[in-house]
Chains A and B, each alone.
Chain A
Amino acid sequence: MSTVNTTGPASGPNPSPGNSPQTGRRMSNRRRRQISLGLQAGVFVLAIVILVAVMDWPTLGQSVFNFAEIGPLFPDIILVGLGNTLLYTASSFVVGLLGGTLLALMRLSSFPPYRWLATAYIELFRGLPALLVFIAFGYGVPFAFGVQWPIPLVVMVSLGMVSSAYIAETLRAGLQAVPKGQAEAARSLGMPAWRAMVTIVIPQAFRLVLPPLTNEVILLTKDSSLVYVLGLAAYEYELTKFGRDGITALDAGLTPVLVAGVMYLIITVPLSLLARKFESRTNRTRV
């Protein structure tokens, strides 16, 4: 330890080896790395020890990991909660994908008004909080126009419209990343522009954007929790609502929220791994 410090104070924050040639020569880079690693490990172990010592374990067991009390959550948190979260995510992704594809094509159209329209839409919905869109469609529209529409539809439309703006930008990048020669080869075979787009360019663009699209699904899964602000019937509850209600209904502190969180991770972690897999595959096969 003391050998390291000899150079430190003398040369300030950026010690140069020239200042103390002897220590510099005696201490190899390898030795230096070992000391640095040992220091980091020491700090880590110390932090854990302090944490374990100061924690109030009985209270923690009572209010965070109280799995004895959460029986009433099941099976509804899975059958209804997880089911609805999946349904809300999937339905809004379908809307987002269709809308996003349309917007991306409009954004690349040679007819300027299409481009303006798509740009305006994308900027609008990327700039607004999803929560505000939920409130607009869930409370605002029924209140203003007197229409009552089912919550799943509200989620599908609100989340779908928001995600279509993000998906459009992702897809546009993908479409532009397909080499120009692909469309030219298709056109030279007599394909009309739309056919070249549908059969040759779009499938390749989708392959390129598979990783970011998967990430978009992860975001949607999490954002579907925003529906919690709307008044929900019991059969419309999703994971977050179950977690929230569990806090007051069961005397188990944070535990219901923890359970809901684990359910989200059951969806999102595999998706994240999938995205990583797509990514390595794309990297491998692209020219």
Chain B
Amino acid sequence: MTETTSHASAIRAGGVAITGLHKSYGSNEVLKGIDLTVAPGEVVCLIGPSGSGKSTLLRCVNLLETPNQGTVAVSGFDATDPEVDLNAMRRHVGMVFQQFNLFPHLSVLENCTVAQVKVLRRAKAEAAGVARENLRRVGLDGFEDRYPDQLSGGQQQRVAIARALSMDPQLMLFDEPTSALDPETVGEVLSVMRGLAGAGMTMLVVTHEMGFAREVADRVVFMDGGVVVEEGPAEQVIGSPTQPRTQDFLRRVLNPTDVEL
């Protein structure tokens, strides 16, 4: 207890420390002992083949999935302590989903204010002010009164980012944020994320966008089969990987037309 507490408090705002994380669904072990840290202000990209456990790992950080074993400390909270106030913790951790998950019955502005009002108890006017500022930040001022089904995928994902930012998070989790987008709208979302990284936001990003990872990530973590296979600076892991599995994966992703069956 004392050990984990001091471990958690060692993590300053936005930081993440994961040790010995295991997660299984029935007999299917998805995560087989993951150790991972994210320093405050750092941008870490998780890459790897589908089914490698990247998304599960990300969802364990804000406890959308409950780990079977191991510890997760996030932003000063010991997330795996049974006594922890998860709702309080999640207020500091923004999450962006592959399928956007905007609230379709609420306008763009309401999407960005509802949690501010209901969770942070901000006054409506204040919440609207914060929401407008974040919508401007993602390039969507003037879209306040639209509804999600009136927006393109890229616009929806940018609203989702503004919605998360409106809670003033210390850490942002991105779960394949561009995988469900039409190719022509991927760029606008990546550009918003690049801006966030540049502004010093702590980010943990599951992505297949190798160009983005190489350019924006401070560190890249390659996962396969539920374990971290290789990690290091983006240039090193993507540019000159040392592990055969990483090399094989990157060859397939970077040159999809060269793959032989």
**Given contact pairs A182-B103, A204-B105, A287-B104, A189 touches B149 in the complex (Cβ within 8 A):** no
Confirm or deny: B91 has a beta carbon within 8 angstroms of a beta carbon on chain A: yes
How far apart sit A101 and B38, CA to CA, in the bound complex (Å)?
44
Indicate if A9 sits at the interface (CB-CB under 8 A).
no
Q: Mark B96-135, 1 if CB is under 8 A from A, else 0.
A: 0101011111000000001100111000000000000000
Q: How far is the CB of A5 from chain B (nearest CB, A)?
A: 56
Sorting the interface of chain B by its residue count into under 10, 10 to 19, 20 to 34 or 35 or more gives 20 to 34
Contacts of A285 in B (CB 8 A): 104, 149
Min CB–CB distance A171 → chain B (angstroms) = 16
Q: What's the least CB distance linking A156 to chain B, in Å?
A: 30
Complex alpha-carbon distance, A190 and B120, angstroms: 9
Any B CB within 8 A of the CB of A126:
no
In the complex the two chains form, what is the Cα distance from A163 to B103 in whole Å?
30
Taking residues whose C-beta sits less than 8 angstroms from the other chain, chain A's interface range is: 20 to 34
Instruction: Quote the shortest CB–CB distance from B164 to chain A (angstroms).
Output: 7
Q: How far is the CA of A117 from the CA of B144 in the complex (A)?
A: 44
Complex contact B119–A185 (CB within 8 A) = no
Do A181 and B97 form a contact, CB below 8 Å, given A187-B90, A188-B90, A190-B88? Answer: yes
The stretch that binds B, out of A70-78, A103-111, A195-203, A268-276, is: A195-203
A199 touching B64, Cβ below 8 Å: no
> Quick one: closest A residue to B64, CB to CB?
A184
Interface readout for A192-230 with B: 1 if CB under 8 Å, 0 if not? Answer: 100100011001100100000000000000000000000
CB within 8 Å of A: which B50-98 residues: 62, 64, 87-88, 90-91, 93-95, 97
* Contact assessment for B99 and A181 in the assembled complex, using a CB-CB cutoff below 8 Å: yes
Interface status of A191 (Cβ within 8 A of chain B): yes
Contact between B103 and A188, CB atoms less than 8 A apart: no
In-complex Cβ contact of B167 among A184, A190, A192, A199 (8 A) = A190
- Chain B residue at smallest Cβ distance from A207: B105
User: Provided the pairs A185-B97, A285-B149, A287-B149 are in contact, do residues A191 and B87 lie with their beta carbons within 8 angstroms?
Assistant: yes
Bound state CA distance, A192 and B90, in angstroms?
Answer: 10
Contact B104 A204 (CB under 8 A): yes
**With an 8 A cutoff between CB atoms, is B22 at the interface?**
no
Report A-chain residues with C-beta under 8 Å of the C-beta of B160.
Answer: 185
Does B158 count as interface, using CB distance less than 8 angstroms?
no
How far apart are the CA atoms of A182 and B101 in the complex, in Å?
Answer: 6
Most buried by A among B114, B118, B160: B118
Contacts of B102 in A (CB 8 A): 185
Which residues of A are found within 8 Å of B99, using beta-carbon distances? Answer: 179, 181
A182: which B residues are within 8 A, CB to CB?
Answer: 101, 103
**Chain A window 163-187, contacts with chain B (Cβ cutoff 8 Å), 1 for yes, 0 for no:** 0000000000000000101101111
Q: Which of A133-186 contact B (CB under 8 A)?
A: 179, 181-182, 184-186
Chain A, Cβ-Cβ closest to B117 = A199
Give bound CA distance, A87 to B29, whole Å. Answer: 58
For residue B149, which residue of chain A has the nearest CB? A285
- A182–B114 CA distance with the chains assembled, in angstroms: 13
**Chain B residues closer than 8 Å to A186, beta-carbon distance:** 103, 115
Q: Which of B104, B105, B167 is in CB contact (< 8 Å) with A189?
A: B167
Q: Given that A181-B101, A185-B103, A188-B62 are known contacts, is A195 also in contact with B119, CB under 8 Å in the complex?
A: yes
CB of B219 within 8 Å of the partner chain: no
Give the CA-CA distance A31 to B107 in the complex, in Å: 55
Find out whether the CB atom of A189 lies under 8 angstroms from the CB atom of B164.
yes
A189 pairs with B163, CB closer than 8 A: yes
Question: A187, A190, A287: which has the most chain B beta carbons within 10 Å?
Answer: A190
Q: Can you name the residue of chain B whose Cβ is closest to the Cβ of A185?
A: B101
- B163 to A, closest residue via Cβ: A189
Q: A189-B119, A189-B164, A191-B115 are in contact. Are A184 and B90 (CB under 8 A)?
A: no
Q: B105–A203 contact, CB under 8 A?
A: yes
Report chain B residues within 8 Å CB of A189.
Answer: 90-91, 114-115, 119, 163-164, 167
Question: CA of A162 to CA of B12 in the docked complex: distance in angstroms?
Answer: 57
**Cβ of B171 to closest chain A Cβ, rounded Å:** 12
In the bound complex, residues from chain A placing their C-beta under 8 Å from that of B95 are 185, 188
Is B87 within 8 A of A190, CB to CB? yes
- Cβ contact within 8 Å between B105 and A192: no
In the bound complex, residues from chain B placing their C-beta under 8 Å from that of A207 are: 105
Least CB distance, B172 to chain A, in whole angstroms: 11
Q: Which residues on the A side are within 8 Å of B118 (C-beta)?
A: 191, 195, 199
In the assembled complex, 5 residue pairs joining A and B whose CB atoms fall closer than 8 Å, in A order, are: A185-B95, A185-B97, A192-B87, A195-B119, A287-B149
Of all A-B residue pairs in the complex, the 9 with the closest CB atoms, nearest first, are A189-B115, A185-B101, A190-B91, A188-B95, A181-B101, A190-B90, A190-B119, A190-B87, A203-B105
Additional 10 contacts, C-beta under 8 A, given A179-B99, A287-B149: A184-B101, A188-B94, A189-B167, A190-B91, A203-B105, A204-B103, A204-B104, A204-B105, A285-B104, A285-B149
